[in-house]
Structure 1
Amino acid sequence: MDFLTERAITYLRRDGRASYSTIAKELDTTRANVSSRLSPLFQSGSLRVIAAIHPRILGLEVLAHVSLRVYGSPAHIIEHLTQLPSAVYLSEATGSYQVIVELHSPSLTDLHRDIGEIRALDGVIEGHILQYEHVYSSFFLGEEPDLQGFQLDETNQLLAQQLQIDGRKSYAELAEHTGLSISATRDRVARLLDSGAMQIGVVRGRNSAGSELVFGFGFTTATPHPQLLELLRAQPGLEFLSSTVGRYDLVTTISFNSLPQFATLLQAIRTIDEVRTVETWLHTRIHMERYVHSGSWVTHE
């Protein structure tokens, strides 16, 4: 994947509904150049643009990263975790922990129950839990939603459901589903995005034929750590970044096109005085990335 394609995808992560013309203008190239790179990726399913609802809107207040050390084949553990309603991300990984799962739960009580269920699975030796403190970057999580005076009614839910299927649906198509005018539909979508209740961005399809390498990083650091945050946020493949409570102070997920690209970043990280330790793991197979929650929206007065 060339540099222009990577930059176009990075732009779509911020604004999944941006037109090819807008992207071309921002990247100082032609619309044809952007289209020739992105259209085949969309047609093959390698890229999708979808909406994600902020978990807070669904009453999911506790977000956690769970690393599992297992023995034998993890197949039955993977199968069980894919059915767990709170699981939103699930992968097999290299390193000390062979299975990684991210959980979104309504409360610590619910998280505790799910952790107990996971630890009781045959083949699980131990599990380490990190609770997310402040999420700096994620497709799921933007800034904390500003819901003051905002009505999350059935029409907004219907719009969100359609955009979760295809985040680039035209306003005319969305208007047909809601019965609103095109201008009213546009205003509704804008309010959902501006409030932080919903994000629309590009996600990459995961398949065995892809050459993308997805690495996790866990850091213990000095506090504060602005230089490290600046470096990580500048990575075009940044998928997730959060401070945590647990054995790490910070965790991130970053995708790379090659091992040399990964090695270059790792070398840069090791020159930062704020970093005390860094551990890495490769997500060898991502089994699930759940962007559509099954929960109901919570009413905010």
Structure 2
Amino acid sequence: MDMADEAIIQLLKSDGRLAHREIARRSGLSRSTVASRMQRLLSTGEVEIRGVVHPAVIGRGSLAYASLTVTGRAEPVAARIAARDDVPFVSLTSGQASVIAEIRAGSALQIDAVVSELRSLPGVRAVETLPYTELLRDVVGPVGEVTHEVDDVDIALLRALQDDGRASYVDLADLVDLSPAGVRRRVVRLLQGEVLRVGALVRQSGQDHQLAMGLGVRLAGDHREVSRALLATPSISFLARTLGRFDLLATVRTFMHGQLTETLERVRSLPGVSDVDSWSHLRFVKESYAVAELRG
């Protein structure tokens, strides 16, 4: 991937349904260049455009970050965790924790039950859990308060957009037996109501040059100014407030080593930041936010 690919991907991360014409206008590339590059990125599987449903809408409003210390090889442990439907994200990492996973469940008690099961896995020596108090930026999914009730037609559209975030309004209309204009109005309401977000996921295959780093931030005071500064940083793809060892958790993704260092130094120097831990995400074992049981 080069800088032109990265420019296209950054725009698709913010809105996966942007038209080629609009991407061309914002990126300064020609429309034909955008179309050919997107075709390559999507056909090779380097990039996927998915719709992600707000966790609260699907009954998974409790979220937590689990860091696992493993004895022996970490890959088998990560593979077993990745098989769980209530764990959408699993990564092999550097540092004291060999595996990091995100848990999404219906309640704090369910989170506790999942953590107990993770502790019992062969090879797992310890699990440190950080419950989220607020999700400020998700990798793809929506954050904030849900302001729209969903019906059976909405559920059918959400299912389809989970599979293909760029599905045309014509194809979606055939699926739910509505006009393309009627479907467009519904999709816009789902997006504006924070039920759904459509964005790009870059697959960390080991053959590309995507780099990812986790940050654990400790604060000296209130979180708001630091949070605003981090949200204004384009390379930060994920940000959550947590209870426990860290006050904020962040993920930095970039295609340039220098940008990792620059972002880490910038976070360390922010007023209100007392300390920052960092670790490398060596390989994403699982990153899938589609929900199999999504139904009305």
TM-score for both structures, normalised by structure 2 = 0.93
Q: Which residue matches 2:180?
A: 182
Shift of 1:185: 1.2
In structure 2, C-alpha distance between the alignment counterparts of 1:292 and 1:120, rounded to whole Å: 26
Q: Which residue matches 2:120?
A: 120
Q: Is the 8 A contact 1:193 1:199 kept in 2?
A: yes
Structure 1 residue matching 2:237: 3-state secondary structure: strand
Matched AA of 1:235: T
1:81 paired to 2:51: no
Matched AA of 1:47: V
Shift of 1:283: 0.9
1:202-235 Cα distance to aligned partner (Å, 9 max, x none): 1112212111111100000122245533442233
1:77-101 Cα distance to aligned partner (Å, 9 max, x none): 2232122221110011000100000
RMSD: 1.8
Matched AA of 1:39: Q
Matches for 1:97-112 after TM superposition, within 5 Å: 97-112=97-112
Matched AA of 2:155: Q
Q: Is the 8 A contact 2:135 2:239 kept in 1?
A: yes
In structure 2, C-alpha distance between the alignment counterparts of 1:293 and 1:92, rounded to whole Å: 23
Q: Which residue matches 2:93?
A: 93
Structure 2 residue matching 1:85: 3-state secondary structure: coil
Matched AA of 1:291: Y
Q: Is the 8 A contact 1:6 1:236 kept in 2?
A: no
Shift of 1:157: 1.1
Q: Which residue matches 2:72?
A: 72
Q: Is the 8 A contact 2:132 2:243 kept in 1?
A: yes
1:277-300 Cα distance to aligned partner (Å, 9 max, x none): 1011111111101211134457xx
1:233-259 Cα distance to aligned partner (Å, 9 max, x none): 233332210111111000011112132
In structure 2, C-alpha distance between the alignment counterparts of 1:227 and 1:188, rounded to whole Å: 35
In structure 1, C-alpha distance between the alignment counterparts of 2:273 and 2:294, rounded to whole Å: 40
Q: Alignment partner for residue 209 of structure 1, among 185, 207, 210?
A: 207
1:141 paired to 2:142: yes
Matches for 1:229-244 after TM superposition, within 5 Å: 229-244=227-242
Residues 5 and 231 of structure 1: is their aligned pair in 2 closer, same or farther, counting only changes over 3 Å? farther
In structure 2, C-alpha distance between the alignment counterparts of 1:246 and 1:297, rounded to whole Å: 34
Q: Which residue matches 2:279?
A: 281
Residues 169 and 296 of structure 1: is their aligned pair in 2 closer, same or farther, counting only changes over 3 Å? closer
Q: Is the 8 A contact 2:62 2:106 kept in 1?
A: yes
Query: Structure 1 residue runs of 4+, over 6 Å off?
Result: none
Q: Structure 2 regions of 5+ residues with no counterpart?
A: none
Matched AA of 2:125: I
Shift of 1:48: 1.3
Q: Is the 8 A contact 1:7 1:236 kept in 2?
A: no
In structure 1, C-alpha distance between the alignment counterparts of 2:178 and 2:268, rounded to whole Å: 54
Q: Is the 8 A contact 2:51 2:165 kept in 1?
A: yes
Structure 2 residue matching 1:87: 3-state secondary structure: coil
Structure 2 residue matching 1:66: 3-state secondary structure: strand
Q: Is the 8 A contact 1:135 1:141 kept in 2?
A: no
Q: Which moved more, 1:284-293 or 1:91-100?
A: 284-293
Shift of 1:29: 4.1
In structure 2, C-alpha distance between the alignment counterparts of 1:185 and 1:269, rounded to whole Å: 42
Structure 1 residue matching 2:227: 3-state secondary structure: helix
Q: Structure 1 regions of 5+ residues with no counterpart?
A: none
Shift of 1:28: 4.0
Residues 136 and 155 of structure 1: is their aligned pair in 2 closer, same or farther, counting only changes over 3 Å? same
Q: Which residue matches 1:22?
A: 22
TM-score for both structures, normalised by structure 1 = 0.92
In structure 1, C-alpha distance between the alignment counterparts of 2:232 and 2:35, rounded to whole Å: 25
In structure 1, C-alpha distance between the alignment counterparts of 2:33 and 2:226, rounded to whole Å: 34
Equivalent residue pairs, number: 295
Matched AA of 1:206: Q
In structure 2, C-alpha distance between the alignment counterparts of 1:143 and 1:287, rounded to whole Å: 27
